[in-house]
Amino acid sequence: MKVYHGSSVVIKIPKILDSQRLLDFGMGFYTTSSRVQAENWAVIKQKRLGINSAAIVTVYEVNDDVFNADKYAVKVFSKANEEWLDFIVANRREYTHHPFDIVKGVVANDTLYSTLSLFEAGVLTKAETISRLKTHKLFDQISFHNPKVLTELNFIDNYKVI
């Protein structure tokens, strides 16, 4: 399976970097199976860094068996549901250390943050939040959470988003 990582630089050897941001699935190296989503992330990163930066998508190949093997602890969220919502809210509130090597699921992108903020503030119930999220086209994200599992990502190519 091909996966894509949007950034401002080429990343031939993925690493998990300390981040000041609280992310959906916790600290990890994030990819997506969607080329379009990776390009969007690359452009967002470029805009955050300023005019002299680039928008780069790095492409990797990962064996599908990695997601089914007993070799790694894998958590899959097949849709935006209560379990998914609880997981991302917990990760966004504090640095949590979950037991998963790989987490796959839908991404709560920038357009959904207002809905999630309303939920976190107690304005929306879980049911209302999930209902609102279902109206959006949700891309996937696949995050890798330790150096050993990162070795499963094989660099293929990179390109600049124009």
pLDDT for the residue numbered 94: 75
DSSP letter (8 states) at residue 79: S
pLDDT for the residue numbered 155: 98
DSSP code per residue over 19-45:
-SS--TT-SSEEEBS-HHHHHHHHHHH
**Pick from 133, 18, 25: nearest CA to 89:** 25
Q: Is 38 in contact with 57 (CB distance < 8 Å)?
A: yes
Domain total in the chain: 1
Which structural domain, as residue segments, surrounds residue 27? Answer: 2-160
Q: Give the side-chain half-sphere CA count within 13 A for 114.
A: 3
pTM: 0.85
Q: What is the pLDDT along the chain (162 residues), one digit of tens a residue?
A: 999 999 999 999 999 987 667 788 888 999 999 999 999 999 988 998 887 889 999 999 999 999 987 889 999 998 878 898 889 888 888 766 889 999 999 876 555 667 777 888 889 988 888 777 765 666 899 999 999 999 999 999 999 998
